């Protein structure tokens, strides 16, 4: 009986959210390609610049990625949607923390927006944004430009103002050396306590409560950073939506983690079906596929670097990381999985995933970060 009532409540919620989001989509209409307007903002995600030898000379490629959106607080429709979401997220709709978090989540994606960036003395136009408001571009940068623009290992850039939007939005790209170790890390239940296996707890830890770091993880990453003779590159691959990038980036900075470059999922919350799925339960296979594709693209971009993969057992990090080990073999130095599902090192899950590829020796399942090496043995 309880299961039946729960199912009815979930379907009722889905119908209400679908109606709210559909009304907002109908009111916003379908925009053609356009410059930024006064109520639209750009958030650049910290990305990377990588180099390669081309005809005997070093050529750089700088990744520029981000999202164009309209903040949720500027829309009466979005404020109504925040009110509608509160009961299912276990939130008090008047709680400022909840309203801020939900405001990030339901911020309006701006499709077909044109963004150009100023890179030194030149202008680089980017492709128009997609349905989720996201954009990404690879911009060639000459060695002389890098020498001129780079400060403390970063290239800074900014968006150009438009007739409708005078603000300049700032971004950075980290210069990643061709060789070394990149630590690819998950976010939920790896760096941040989320309890993703309990949907009610996961929603509360995402929307209602202050973010809490997994004890000992920031100290571990700093130890890896400080014990290495060559700079370690830290990169987040999270299946969370780009909508949450800003509060998560602030959280990692305040918790003392080293600087990250980032990959997160581009999803269109203005699509009613996507909103319902992301609120009720994201598709685990879609999450796994995103992570595999993102890590694969990173390793292709950095073909000489080795990688350490850090995640947890709550969802499908082991499955995603096993696929990467199978594809990239010796370039994966270690796989560290935080045990949040009562599956120890000898669990059948891990034997099935890593045993056939003869990579079980690379796997270490841990509960306390102090159980992990305090130095990355594969640093080159």
Residue 17 confidence (pLDDT): 55
Spatial separation of the C-alpha atoms in residues 125 and 160, rounded to whole Å: 9
Q: Can you list the domains of the chain with their CATH numbers?
A: 2-30+72-106 (no CATH), 41-71+109-175 (2.60.40), 181-371 (3.40.50.1000)
Q: Is the pTM of this model over 0.75?
A: yes
Alpha-carbon gap, residue 61 to 133, rounded angstroms: 23
For the residues 299-304, what does the mean pLDDT come to?
A: 96
More confident residue, 25 or 262: 262
* pLDDT value of position 16: 54
What was the pLDDT predicted at 370? 96
Under the banding of pLDDT at 50, 70 and 90, the label for residue 353 is very high
Q: How many CB atoms lie within 10 A of CB 105?
A: 22
CA angle 136, 267, 45 (to 5 degrees): 40
Alpha carbons 370 and 119: distance in angstroms, whole number: 42
Q: What mean pLDDT is reported for the chain?
A: 89
Are 351 and 343 a contacting pair, CB within 8 Å? Answer: no
> CA 214 → CA 10, 193, 252, 260, 369, distances in Å?
31, 5, 11, 17, 9
| Sign of the alpha-carbon dihedral angle for 118, 119, 121, 127 | negative
Give the residue-averaged pLDDT of 217-246.
94
- Report yes or no: 109 and 27 within 8 Å, Cβ to Cβ: no
Q: For residue range 158-217, what is the model confidence (pLDDT) as tens digits? A: 999 999 999 999 999 999 999 999 999 999 999 999 999 999 999 999 999 999 999 999
Q: Band of the pLDDT at 230, cuts 50, 70, 90?
A: confident
- State residue 8's pLDDT score: 38
Instruction: Point out the least confidently predicted range of 79-88, 150-159, 198-207, 268-277.
Output: 268-277
What proportion of the chain, given as a percentage, has pLDDT over 90? 76
Mean pLDDT of 322-334: 96
In the predicted structure, residue 279 carries a pLDDT above the cut 80: no
Given a cut of 50, whether residue 278 has pLDDT beyond it is yes
- Which position has the higher pLDDT, 254 or 380? 254
Average pLDDT over residues 68-80: 87
**Cβ–Cβ under 8 Å, residues 210 and 191:** no
Confidence of residue 272 (pLDDT cuts 50, 70, 90): confident
**229 pLDDT tier (thresholds 50, 70, 90):** confident
Question: Average pLDDT, stretch 120-134?
Answer: 94
DSSP three-state, residue 65? strand
Q: Tell me the average pLDDT across 344-373.
A: 94
């Amino acid at each position: 009986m309880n299961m039946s009532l729960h199912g009815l409540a979930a379907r009722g919620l889905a119908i209400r959210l679908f109606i709210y989001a559909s009304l907002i989509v109908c009111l916003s209409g379908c925009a053609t390609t356009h410059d930024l307007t006064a109520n639209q903002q750009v958030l650049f995600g910290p990305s990377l610049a990588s180099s390669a030898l081309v005809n005997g000379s070093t050529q750089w490629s700088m990744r520029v990625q981000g999202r164009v959106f309209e903040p949720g607080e500027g829309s009466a429709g979005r404020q109504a949607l925040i009110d509608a979401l509160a009961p299912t997220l276990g939130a008090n709709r008047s709680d400022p923390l909840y309203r801020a978090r939900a405001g990030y989540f339901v911020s309006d994606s701006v499709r077909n927006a044109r963004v150009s960036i100023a890179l030194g003395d030149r202008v680089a136009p980017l492709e128009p944004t997609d349905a989720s408001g996201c954009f990404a571009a690879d911009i060639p940068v000459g060695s002389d430009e890098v020498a001129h623009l780079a400060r403390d290992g970063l290239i800074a850039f900014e968006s150009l103002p438009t007739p409708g939007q005078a603000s300049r939005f700032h971004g950075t790209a980290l210069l990643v050396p061709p060789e070394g170790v990149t630590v690819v890390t998950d976010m939920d239940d790896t760096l941040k306590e989320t309890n993703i296996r309990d949907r009610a707890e996961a929603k509360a830890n995402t929307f209602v409560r202050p973010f809490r770091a997994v004890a000992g993880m920031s100290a571990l990453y700093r130890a890896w950073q400080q014990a290495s003779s060559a700079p370690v590159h830290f990169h987040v691959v999270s299946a969370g939506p780009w909508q949450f990038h800003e509060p998560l980036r602030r959280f990692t900075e305040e918790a003392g983690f080293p600087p990250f470059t980032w990959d997160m999922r581009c999803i269109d919350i203005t699509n009613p079906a996507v909103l319902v799925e992301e609120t009720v339960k994201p598709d685990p296979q879609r999450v796994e596929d995103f992570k595999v594709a993102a890590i694969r693209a990173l390793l292709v971009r950095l073909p000489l670097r080795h990688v350490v993969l850090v995640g947890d057992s709550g969802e499908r990090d082991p499955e995603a990381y096993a696929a990467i080990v199978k594809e990239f073999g010796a370039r994966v130095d270690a796989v560290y999985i935080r045990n949040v599902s009562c599956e120890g090192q000898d669990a059948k899950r891990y034997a099935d995933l890593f045993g056939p590829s003869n990579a079980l020796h690379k796997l270490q399942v841990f509960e306390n970060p102090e159980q992990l090496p305090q130095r990355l043995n594969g640093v080159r």
